[in-house]
Amino acid sequence: MDKRVVEEQDGPRGGEYYFTDLDDGRRLSVSRKHGDERVWLGYPEAPETYTHQRGGIGNIDKLLDEWRARIALDAEAAEMYAALAALAARKERRS
C-alpha cells in the first residue's frame, strides 16, 4: 500500500492546498476549498511550471478515472493515481 505524505500549504494569493511530492520531484496539489476540485502539477521550486495551469490540469474525479485506467500500462499513472487518491481522501476527511 502506498503511504503518501499529504501536507497543507497556503498559496501567495489566498489559495489553500493539499499537496504530495512525486518521486520525480514534481508536486501534485489540490485545493482545500470545498467545491473546488482542481488539480495542479509542477515543480515546487520552479513556479513557472504552473504558469499555464490557472484552471489546473483537470479535476479530481476525471483524473482519478483517467489514471486508474492506465495503471497496468504505465508506472507513472500508477504513482499519479496513488498520489491523487491520497489527496482526495484527505480532502474528503476535511469536508
Domain ranges of the chain: 7-94
- Residue 33 corresponds to which cell in the numbers above? 476549498
Mean pLDDT across the chain, nearest whole number? Answer: 90
CA distances from 29 to 9, 19, 26, 48 (A): 9, 4, 10, 15
pLDDT tens column, 46-88: 888 877 887 889 999 999 999 999 998 999 999 999 999 999 9
Beta strands in the chain (DSSP E): 7-10, 16-21, 27-31, 38-42, 58-59
With 60 as the cut, is the pLDDT of residue 1 above it? no
